[in-house]
Amino acid sequence: MKKHKKWLSICLIVCLIGGLGGVAWHRHRVIEERELSLIYIPKVVDGTNDFWKSLILGARMAAKEYNAEIGILAPSEENDVERQNELLKEAIEKEPDAILFSPSSFTESNDLLKEAKEKGIRISFIDSYTEEQIQDLTVATDNLEAGEKLGKFAATLLGPEDQIAIVAHVKGVSTAVEREEGFRKGLGKLADNIVEVVYCDSQYEKSRQLTVELMEKYPNLKMIAGMNEYSSVGAARAVKAAGAKDRIQVVGVDSSQEAVQLMENGVFKGLVVQKAFKMGYMGVKETVLMLRGKSYEKDVNSGCELVTPENMYSSEIEKLLFPFNTLKLS
């Protein structure tokens, strides 16, 4: 009888362990398989701006691949901090698992982000960051590196005395500051030839206007460098309109259909293109990994590439410049 009891208890223990293991495994699976809800707030959605289009495409593809639902809330104009904060508030009310955010302002969104954190919403920064280190992870281009690449390439186009002007997007924004710093570093000694830095507030028209003024102000200007899509393309439009594409070299950051066209046309001599698709994709991927409790990278540099008229039709650059949208296919 005693022996029987012993056997019985061994059987029971085995069953118990098996059962517990099964439950734990099942719970683990549930966390792993639940569809996560994410909200991404970019700086802008603009049909002409390939950077944001690619980024959002990447985010959507990653969300689909990693079983997450992603909502995009975007202001229709870049640098519209107020609108972006409204959208952020809206997103917080929806209480998603995480908010992916590309802050337009270095300081203005801090309170809202803190509120989100208090509600248990994870924050991922994409492309830019804010004054306070409130985010759980960041996926961005190393803007110093991007600026430096552009600077080094620009230096090869210039003589020792050639004047340079910079059209940046928004004063004080992290991307603008770092790209300019990198650009100066890449130029090396030639950095002393920078005559002026102007800010276009991420508007094509203002950028064009400022460029026209710069050309008048500095008749011997040899180079204009744009620090984002709006500033670069605005500057290129002005140079093209002035018929000065052979006299003034235009380099910039980010690409769009128009930028590519302008490069084919010979206005742009070089563009540093961020890997926007990769940025969006990695942003969502790492956020999902974080939410599912797996190992993830806290700081991801999505990288950038220099595009020139010589390499623009190469397979590698085409892959970067023109998104292959498989979402449309399926």
Partner 1 sequence: MYADRICKGEAEMNKKSLATVIVGKFKSIQSVIFATVAFLVLSAVVIVTGVSMRFTQNSIFENSSQYTHTIIKQMNQNIDSYIDYMENIAYLISSSEDVQDYLFDDEIDNEARYRILNQFETILDSRSDIRNVGIISKNGRMLINDGKKSVNSDLNLNTQEWYTQALDSPEGPMLTSSHVQHIISGERPWVITLSRGIRDRGGSGEKEGVFFIDLNYSAISGLCDQSTVGTKGYAFILDARGNIVYHPQQQQLYNELQTENINLIMDTDDDTVLTGTGKDGKLYSISRSDKTGWTVVDCTSVRELLSKSRQAQSIYVLTAVILVIVSLLFSRFMARSITLPIQKLRDSMKKVQEGDFSVSDVVVDSDNEIGSLTKSFDVMTHRIQELMEQNVHEQEQKRKSELKALQSQINPHFLYNTLDSIIWMAEGKKNEEVVLMTASLARLLRQSISNEDEVVPIANEVEYARGYLTIQKMRYKDKLEFQIDVDPSILYIPLIKLVLQPIIENAIYHGLKYKESKGLLIVKGFMKDGNAVLQVIDDGVGMDEETLAHIYDRHKVNYHSNGVGVYNVQKRLKLYYGDDYGITYESRPGEGTTATITIPGRQEAV
Distances (CA, A) of 114 to 19, 33, 43, 118: 41, 28, 19, 6
Q: Tokens in use for 132? A: 């306070």
As measured in angstroms, the least distance from the Cβ of 143 to partner 1 is 19
- Interface characters, 107-126, with partner 1 (x: CB under 8 A): --------------------
Separation CA 299–CA 301 (nearest Å): 7
Q: Which is nearer to partner 1, 55 or 170 (CB)?
A: 55
> Applying CB under 8 A, which of residues 278, 286, 300, 301 lies at the interface with partner 1?
278
Question: How far is it, in rounded angstroms, from Cα 131 to Cα 112?
Answer: 13
State which amino acid sits at residue 111: D
Report in angstroms how near the CB of residue 148 gets to partner 1 at its nearest.
21
202/232 Cα distance (integer angstroms): 10
List 41, 44, 59, 61, residue binding partner 1 (CB under 8 A): 61
Amino acid at 141: T
For residue 167, the surrounding DSSP H or E stretch is: strand 163-168
Q: Which stretch binds partner 1 (CB under 8 A): 34-42, 88-96, 176-184, 315-323?
A: 315-323
Distance between CA atoms of residues 51 and 141, nearest Å:
12
Based on CB atoms, which residue is closest to partner 1, 113 or 320? 320
Q: Does 58 bind partner 1 (CB under 8 A)?
A: yes
Tell whether residue 25 is a contact of partner 1 (CB under 8 A). Answer: no
Judging by beta carbons within 10 Å of its beta carbon (0-12, 13-18, 19+), is residue 160 exposed, middle or buried? exposed
End-to-end, the C-alpha distance of the chain in Å comes to 66
Stretch that binds partner 1, among 126-134, 227-235, 287-295, 311-319 (CB under 8 A): 311-319
Cβ proximity to partner 1, 133 vs 295, nearer residue: 295
Distance, in Å, from the CA atom of 260 to the CA atom of 309, rounded to the nearest integer, reads: 9
Binds partner 1 by CB under 8 A, chosen from 57, 121, 250, 271: 57
To the nearest whole angstrom, how small is the minimum distance from the Cβ of residue 235 to partner 1?
Answer: 18
State the nearest-atom distance from the C-beta of 228 to partner 1, in Å: 20
Q: Which is nearer to partner 1, 41 or 321 (CB)?
A: 321
